[in-house]
Amino acid sequence: MNKVLNLIKERRSIRKFQSTPVDDEKIKAVLSAGQWAPSFLNMQPWKFIVVRDEAAKKSIAEVLKLPLAATEYRGTKGFDFIPQVPVIIVTCVSPKKDQVHYAEDGAIATQNMALAAESLGLGSCWIGVLNHSYIEDEIKKILEVPDDFRIISLLPIGVPGEHITKTREELEDLVFHEKFGGR
């Protein structure tokens, strides 16, 4: 099978990481994957924050425990793993630079970085922040993100401490031809 397609199929959200530090060169490679993501009219509205500071990670974990995040969302057991993860990459975007597609552009950059992490033997777990206004605002304060930027996602990265297998719905159940519902 094609390496890229295999990588996409193998990537899983990891919530348990080894305490092993992540090499700076690997983080740089992951960030480069975000840098090279496609964006509307090549505006590249993103900035990335690499968070390794223990106090910042602990503060972020506390914010994520707030009402929306504290519930067991779709089977996850919260965000208790955040303080132990070696690195978090925070994707911020500028709605001023791209008023129309900043969210999609930041999402594509985050996906590129998650796939790059997987290709380097690292695990990641996409945590969406955009549109959870109180959580986003609190994380912006912790990381001193300017008011004119939005946070799209947090991407904890590290050496996986677990192996997860998942299945997907059958492709035939997801694809229509010519119109919605068309077989």
What is the predicted pLDDT for the residue at 3?
Answer: 87
Q: Quick one: which of 116, 111, 113, 118 has its CA closest to 160?
A: 118
Task: Give the span between the Cα atoms of 161 and 67, in whole angstroms.
Answer: 27
Query: In this structure, what token pair is assigned to residue 33?
Result: 């994957």
| Digit-coded pLDDT (tens) for 26-45 | 999 999 999 999 999 999 99
Q: Is the separation of the CB atoms in 17 and 84 below 8 Å?
A: yes
**Among all chains, which residue has been given the structure tokens 């519930």?**
71
Query: E-assigned strands of 3-110?
Result: 46-51, 87-93
Domains in the chain, please, with CATH? 26-161 (3.40.109.10)
The answer to whether residue 90 scores a pLDDT higher than 80 is: yes
What is the predicted pLDDT for the residue at 39?
Answer: 94
